[in-house]
Amino acid sequence: MKIRIFLAAFLALGVALPGRAETPRPQSDGYALLSGLCEKERKADLVFIIKDASDRTHATTKKIARLYGRIGDDLKQWADDDKTIQLKTPHLPALETEARELIDHSHQKQLLEDTKGKAFEHLFMILQWQSLWYGYSLTATLIDHEDNPARKQALRQHAKELRALIDEVYNQT
């Protein structure tokens, strides 16, 4: 009987028992969304294997890919250090997932099949601008919910760099 009361008290207080996974924090969905974006955008410059663009677009896209790579690496490290940070894709409503897949497919088709030259470059940079705004917004929101001072500072730095790239892409389009 005493053991049951003891265990109930531990569970009620949220104390993790050995071998149990820790409860994800509410901002884990934000980290998961940002991680998914980083995984996708860190490879954005691979499009230039099959498409041509100006040196300026190449350079800007490399900056974007590198930044998303650094952010993604930080997220992986944080998740390794803190088991309450989950980077698995959050459970989105089915229609949201379907709509995102449709958007991605439409963008890929437009970029790879329907456009070339300046039209391709313009569309590509518009899509990068949208991605940067989404990454910036997720990062800025996570800052408000993060308790760890080191992660909060890193998020602030990432937000600053994302914002600078937003301006760079905007001035380029």
For residue 105, give the CATH number of its domain: 1.20.1260.10
Instruction: Let me know if residue 146 belongs to a domain.
Output: yes
pTM: 0.82
Residue 43 has pLDDT above 60, yes or no: yes
The domain total for the chain is 1
- Give tens-digit pLDDT for 97-110: 999 999 999 998 88
CA–CA dist 56, 168 (Å, integer): 10
Residue 7 has pLDDT above 70, yes or no: no
For 70, the domain range is 25-172
CA–CA dist 55, 49 (Å, integer): 14
Write down the H helix ranges in the chain: 2-13, 28-41, 55-81, 94-109, 117-145, 149-172
Confidence tier at 18 by pLDDT (50, 70, 90): very low
